[in-house]
C-alpha cells in the first residue's frame, strides 16, 4: 500500500487492530454529529495532498482537505463534526443496541487543487449504538455529583503541573444535570507541556456486556494554553485517544469548550481504574491564567446479560 489510514497508535507493519466506535443515543441532539481522530501515512515516493471522506447509509460526510504530507511521513488529525446523521430512534435499537458500518476513505493527490488522484485507501469501521436508558440495561454506577461531592473521583499531576494542582471540586458553571458537575483544574508548572489525570476505581458487574459512558468538556484560560489531547484509559491501556501526541506548537489539536461523549466497553467482573488524561502546551511560564478545566457529568456504567 502507498497510503494508509489508521485509528490507533499501532505502527505498521503490525496489522491495525479492529476498531469499533460506540455511541449512546440518550440525550443526544438530533441530528447528531461524529468526531474522530485519524492517523494517516504517505509511503509514496513524493509528497501527497491528502483528503479524508466517508460513506454510510443515512450519513452526510464532508470531505476534508488535510494538506501536503511529505513522503514517508504520518500525522494525527482530529476531525470535529466529520459526519452527521439522524439520531437513531429507540425503535431502531431493539434490546438497546444496533450495529452499522461506515467506510472511511483516504485519498492522495499529487496537486494542491485536489484534482489529480493517485492513491485511495478504504477502512471500514463498525459503529455500535446503544440506548443507556433502555430497560435491558442496568445502571450500575451513576456519578452526577449532585450531592455536592466528588463521589470518589481523584486527580493527579503527571507532568509539569504547578504545585497544588490539579484541583478537584464540584462546579455549577458547566453542567448536564443540575446543580453540579465535577471539575478538575490543571495549571502549567513550566513552559511547554502540562499533563494531569482524573481517575476512579471500579469493579465491573458480572454481565456479558458492560459499558462506561463519559460526558466531558474541556475549557481553557489564556489563549497561550493549547489543548493537545484527551486520553481515556483503563488502567494504563488507552481506550480512546483524541487529538495528537504532544508537540511544542501553539495550536489546538482537539476542540475545547464543548461537551463530548465517549462510550467504551469494559471487561466483566474486573477491578479496574478509569482515567481521563488532558495534555496542554503553554508558551509562557509563570502565568496564572494558563489553565485548563476538565468537566465530567452524568458518568455511567451500565450492563446487561
Amino acid 1: pLDDT: 66
Amino acid 84: pLDDT: 97
240 confidence band (pLDDT: 50, 70, 90):
very high
Q: Which one has a higher pLDDT value, 163 or 284?
A: 163
- pLDDT mean over 234-254: 93
Residue 15 has pLDDT above 80, yes or no: yes
Amino acid 305: pLDDT: 92
CATH number of the domain to which 39 belongs: 2.60.40.10
d(CA 209, CA 116): 47
Name residues whose C-beta falls within 8 Å of residue 213's C-beta, 6 or more positions apart in sequence. Answer: 24, 132, 261, 262, 263, 298, 299, 300, 301, 302
DSSP for 204-222, please give it.
--SSSEEEEEEEEEEEESS
Instruction: Let me know whether 77 and 195 are in one domain.
Output: no
Amino acid 27: pLDDT: 94
d(CA 11, CA 69): 17
How many residues does the structure list for the chain? 305
Instruction: Let me know whether 90 and 176 are in one domain.
Output: no
Instruction: Let me know whether 105 and 143 are in one domain.
Output: no
- pLDDT mean over 220-235: 91
Instruction: Let me know whether 75 and 203 are in one domain.
Output: no
Name residues whose C-beta falls within 8 Å of residue 193's C-beta, 6 or more positions apart in sequence. Answer: 159, 160, 228, 246, 248, 279, 280, 281
The per-residue pLDDT for range 119-142, each reduced to its tens digit, is: 999 999 999 999 999 999 999 999
- Measured from the Cβ of residue 226, the count of other Cβ atoms closer than 10 Å reads 23
SS3 readout for 273-295: EEEEEEEEEECCCCCCCCEEEEE
Q: Are strands 74-85 and 59-61 parallel, antiparallel or unpaired?
A: antiparallel
- pLDDT mean over 231-243: 96
3-state secondary structure of 92: helix
Residue at which a domain ends, from 90, 113, 130: 130
Instruction: Let me know whether 106 and 161 are in one domain.
Output: no
Instruction: Let me know whether 8 and 92 are in one domain.
Output: yes
Residue at which a domain ends, from 94, 114, 130: 130
Residue 82 has pLDDT above 90, yes or no: yes
Give the total number of structural domains in the chain. 2
Instruction: Let me know whether 177 and 288 are in one domain.
Output: yes
Instruction: Let me know whether 58 and 13 are in one domain.
Output: yes
- pLDDT mean over 10-29: 94
Instruction: Let me know whether 87 and 217 are in one domain.
Output: no
Residue at which a domain ends, from 130, 148, 174: 130
The 8-class DSSP code of residue 161 comes to B
CATH number of the domain to which 144 belongs: 2.60.120.260
What is the extent of the structural domain holding 74? 3-130
Amino acid 47: pLDDT: 97
Instruction: Let me know whether 41 and 119 are in one domain.
Output: yes
- Measured from the Cβ of residue 185, the count of other Cβ atoms closer than 10 Å reads 18
Between vectors from CA 124 to CA 118 and to CA 130, what angle results, nearest 5°? 150
Amino acid 93: pLDDT: 95
Q: Are 202 and 195 in contact (CB under 8 A)?
A: no
What is the Rg, in whole angstroms, of the alpha carbon atoms belonging to the chain? 20
Q: Is the previous residue joined to 59 through a cis bond, with omega within 30 degrees of 0?
A: no
Q: Are 61 and 51 in contact (CB under 8 A)?
A: no
Instruction: Let me know whether 120 and 260 are in one domain.
Output: no
Instruction: Let me know whether 161 and 102 are in one domain.
Output: no
DSSP for 242-260, please give it.
EE-S--S-SS-SS--SSEE
Amino acid at each position: 500500500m502507498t497510503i494508509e489510514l489508521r485509528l490507533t497508535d499501532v505502527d505498521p507493519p503490525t496489522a491495525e487492530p479492529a476498531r469499533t466506535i460506540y455511541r449512546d443515543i440518550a440525550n443526544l441532539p438530533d441530528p447528531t454529529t461524529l468526531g474522530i481522530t485519524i492517523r494517516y501515512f504517505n509511503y509514496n515516493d513524493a509528497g501527497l495532498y491528502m483528503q479524508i471522506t466517508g460513506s454510510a447509509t443515512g450519513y452526510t460526510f464532508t470531505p476534508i482537505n488535510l494538506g501536503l504530507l511529505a513522503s514517508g511521513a504520518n500525522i494525527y488529525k482530529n476531525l470535529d463534526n466529520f459526519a452527521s446523521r439522524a439520531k437513531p430512534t429507540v425503535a431502531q435499537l431493539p434490546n438497546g443496541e444496533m450495529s452499522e458500518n461506515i467506510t472511511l476513505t483516504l485519498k492522495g493527490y499529487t496537486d494542491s487543487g485536489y484534482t489529480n488522484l493517485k492513491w485511495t485507501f478504504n477502512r471500514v469501521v463498525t459503529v455500535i449504538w446503544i440506548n443507556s436508558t433502555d430497560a435491558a440495561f442496568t445502571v450500575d454506577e451513576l456519578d452526577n455529583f449532585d450531592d455536592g461531592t466528588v463521589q470518589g473521583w481523584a486527580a493527579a499531576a503527571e507532568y509539569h503541573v504547578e504545585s497544588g494542582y490539579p484541583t478537584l471540586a464540584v462546579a455549577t458553571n458547566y453542567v448536564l444535570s443540575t446543580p453540579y458537575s465535577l471539575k478538575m483544574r490543571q495549571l502549567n508548572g513550566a513552559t511547554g507541556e502540562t499533563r494531569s489525570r482524573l481517575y476512579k476505581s471500579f469493579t465491573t458487574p458480572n454481565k456479558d456486556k458492560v459499558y462506561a459512558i463519559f460526558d466531558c468538556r474541556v475549557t481553557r484560560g489564556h489563549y497561550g494554553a493549547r489543548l493537545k489531547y484527551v486520553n481515556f484509559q483503563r488502567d494504563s491501556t488507552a481506550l480512546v485517544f483524541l487529538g495528537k501526541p504532544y508537540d511544542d506548537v501553539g495550536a489546538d489539536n482537539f476542540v475545547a469548550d464543548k461537551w463530548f461523549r465517549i462510550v467504551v466497553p469494559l471487561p466483566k467482573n474486573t477491578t479496574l481504574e478509569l482515567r481521563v488524561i488532558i495534555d496542554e502546551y503553554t508558551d509562557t511560564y509563570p502565568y496564572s491564567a494558563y489553565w485548563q478545566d476538565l468537566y465530567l457529568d452524568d458518568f455511567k456504567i451500565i450492563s446487561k446479560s
